[in-house]
Structure 1
């Protein structure tokens, strides 16, 4: 079988797709990625076939700014999301993507949630499309605006406009039930998919536990652990008023590969780590990687989001009782320290995080989902989802 993955050219959107892509490749299926050339360094070591072309994220942002007549920073969030993903990006990429994909002739298209090129190409080629969701769904108003923005672009290409976003045959959902809004119903047939990160390795099942008698370890995750973040020095001074160990990671890399040229961890009294093992609290930006990695370990989090998607995850973590969300921006170090202190001082946050950990441990792996997808596309009889759950 030939499987073509589509993704926005952003590492945090691409990386959640890699475990599934690897599982399909390891089962001897042909796997290719369609995205911009800026993802070459991340994808080339994987050995997938690559279709690297078209507008980068910066170029799409520039086109949105040109159309709006203002910097994207001044656009309302919904207007930015709809014009970026369902307007400018489709206009700049869809036709070439369809031509290239048609020449490659996939049997299945897999698209990350915010990539709306993949579902359009899948309909044009009359092949099934699976959409990978990496967090709680945006509001119904935002989803309706995306569908409305896309409608004319489908019609002008002789395609049936989608009645909803996401659009496809299956929703491969990395989000555990506790992080979805109460009463949420999947817009497509849902197939649970366990998130696998941690240096692109599967996260071990079960909660992380600090050794008895040790000071609690607070981990500063990606987005909070480099010297480029304004006020980090003040944050470290504030955190040291707590009786804790502070560790930091610049990303999912081995310790030797951490970004040390922008931040001297040792000089600041920090331990550099690529693992969440032993952490009691994580401070992170709400990326899919950190949100699900912390959840899989049963570690409560203080979340300092930047993008609208990160804000949704931050709010979900807080609503589930597994952490506390801060408003985007640069909050006072004392406020961050107070939130971390609250998580350390109240076991209910850890209890909630461990409940989510157990949910994630019961979700099907990428290998299981890959096998199920192949069977579903080929028409073999299988349960509704890899584990018999929907």
Structure 2
């Protein structure tokens, strides 16, 4: 079977699909990713060997800039209406036709699209094939999903295409962190969520700390919100305690304000290791605390390991993720870096945060593995010969 995976061109949208892509290839299926061409490094470095890139459509910078031009607003901290425009009309108008053309040439049998992606439903309708929606965080609020759908519908009318609802919703998000009372409008299929890891043999082991027997904290702003000043404020707050700090620099690769940072030891005794982008699974090795902005990948990855969090949201979906993590008792949330030090003290002095995080990890571990879910979607109970 030929399985097409569709994602918004951003690491936080593409990488959650990696386990399903790996499972498809391991079972002998052909797999391709439909997203913009600037995601080639992510496809080649972070996904399983053998997956094809079908490069089509605008980059994230291009369609968010168009949305900002149309609405005159900050798309990093947008109103819901702007989010609808970003992922709906703007992205489709700039790349919908090209996406359908590339997909038609590849001739998939099945589409799996992450839930902010609107090209997958378009392709499935144009080609007359089934599709499934894959969650990457808490379910999109119904009002936001409606805004994205309404915006996308403008393009659908012009293209003469009427997308069908997905067959199933693949849900990796812990039940405890979903909005109370939420239920999927289509049949849900739980899937075991985890931190992103590279295919076997391409791991990125972390450097050891001089004092290996004390707590290691991962400090991360994710792949988008990598402002150096904000990162410095996070680090200053966390390093006020004698901890081991592993600080990820986001997507700064060899250039930019975060690129050249030397490891250091602060007056408090905190030892700080700065690292460029690496799979979260590697960054979490040995960590007992995560201090971050609250991206869905960070929250899900930490909880899959049973690690509690201190969160200071910076934008996008982070406030929602952080609020649900706080309500579940696995995180303390602050509204500025000035509150991080006190929040760390609270998490480390109250064992209930670690206990709740461990309970979430235990629940996630009972869910079907990505390989089992992929076989359910493809109708292949055993690997394809």
Alignment TM-score > 0.5, same fold? yes
Is 1:355 the equivalent of 2:359?
yes
| Pairwise CA distance, 1:50 | 1.6
Change (3 A) 1:128 1:307: farther
| Pairwise CA distance, 1:343 | 0.4
Aligned match for 2:61, one of 27, 42, 58: 58
1:254-298 per-residue CA deviation (whole Å, 9 max, x = no partner) reads xxxxx9842212455314673423322210222232211110111
| Pairwise CA distance, 1:160 | 2.9
2:111–2:130 Cα contact (<8 Å) kept: yes
Change (3 A) 1:179 1:2: same
- Find the aligned partners of 1:138 and 1:292 in 2 and give their Cα distance: 16
Change (3 A) 1:160 1:232: closer
- Find the aligned partners of 1:193 and 1:141 in 2 and give their Cα distance: 25
1:291-327 per-residue CA deviation (whole Å, 9 max, x = no partner) reads 1111011111012223332222111111111002233
- Where does 1:172-251 land on structure 2 (aligned, <5 Å)? 172-200=170-198, 214-223=213-222, 229-233=228-232, 235-250=234-249
SS in 2 for 1:138: coil
- Find the aligned partners of 1:322 and 1:374 in 2 and give their Cα distance: 35
1:198–1:275 Cα contact (<8 Å) kept: no
- Find the aligned partners of 2:106 and 2:236 in 1 and give their Cα distance: 55
- Find the aligned partners of 2:64 and 2:155 in 1 and give their Cα distance: 19
- Find the aligned partners of 1:361 and 1:266 in 2 and give their Cα distance: 37
- Find the aligned partners of 1:27 and 1:74 in 2 and give their Cα distance: 39
SS in 1 for 2:317: helix
Aligned match for 2:146, one of 144, 147, 151: 144
1:280–1:344 Cα contact (<8 Å) kept: no
Aligned match for 1:320, one of 309, 328, 331: 328
SS in 2 for 1:247: strand
- Where does 1:112-123 land on structure 2 (aligned, <5 Å)? 112-123=114-125
1:231-273 per-residue CA deviation (whole Å, 9 max, x = no partner) reads 5445444434435333334469xxxxxx984221245531467
- Find the aligned partners of 2:131 and 2:310 in 1 and give their Cα distance: 35
Is 1:9 the equivalent of 2:9?
yes
- Where does 1:200-349 land on structure 2 (aligned, <5 Å)? 200=198, 214-223=213-222, 229-233=228-232, 235-250=234-249, 261-266=259-264, 269-271=271-273, 274-327=282-335, 331-333=336-338, 335-349=339-353
2:192–2:370 Cα contact (<8 Å) kept: yes
RMSD over aligned CA atoms reads: 2.9
| Pairwise CA distance, 1:142 | 1.4
- Find the aligned partners of 1:353 and 1:22 in 2 and give their Cα distance: 27
2:290–2:302 Cα contact (<8 Å) kept: yes
Q: Which runs of 5+ in 1 are unaligned?
A: 203-212, 253-258, 381-390
Change (3 A) 1:197 1:235: closer
SS in 1 for 2:134: strand
Runs of 4+ off more than 6 Å: none
Change (3 A) 1:81 1:130: same
- Find the aligned partners of 2:37 and 2:334 in 1 and give their Cα distance: 34
Change (3 A) 1:236 1:7: closer
| Pairwise CA distance, 1:73 | 4.4
SS in 1 for 2:228: coil
- Find the aligned partners of 2:259 and 2:151 in 1 and give their Cα distance: 43
- Find the aligned partners of 1:98 and 1:339 in 2 and give their Cα distance: 48
SS in 2 for 1:270: strand
2:312–2:337 Cα contact (<8 Å) kept: no
Change (3 A) 1:288 1:332: closer
SS in 2 for 1:197: coil
- Find the aligned partners of 2:320 and 2:23 in 1 and give their Cα distance: 29
- Where does 1:124-143 land on structure 2 (aligned, <5 Å)? 124-143=126-145
| Pairwise CA distance, 1:114 | 0.4
- Find the aligned partners of 2:174 and 2:297 in 1 and give their Cα distance: 14
- Find the aligned partners of 1:134 and 1:193 in 2 and give their Cα distance: 11
TM-score normalised according to structure 2 size: 0.83
Change (3 A) 1:94 1:343: same
- Find the aligned partners of 1:201 and 1:222 in 2 and give their Cα distance: 24
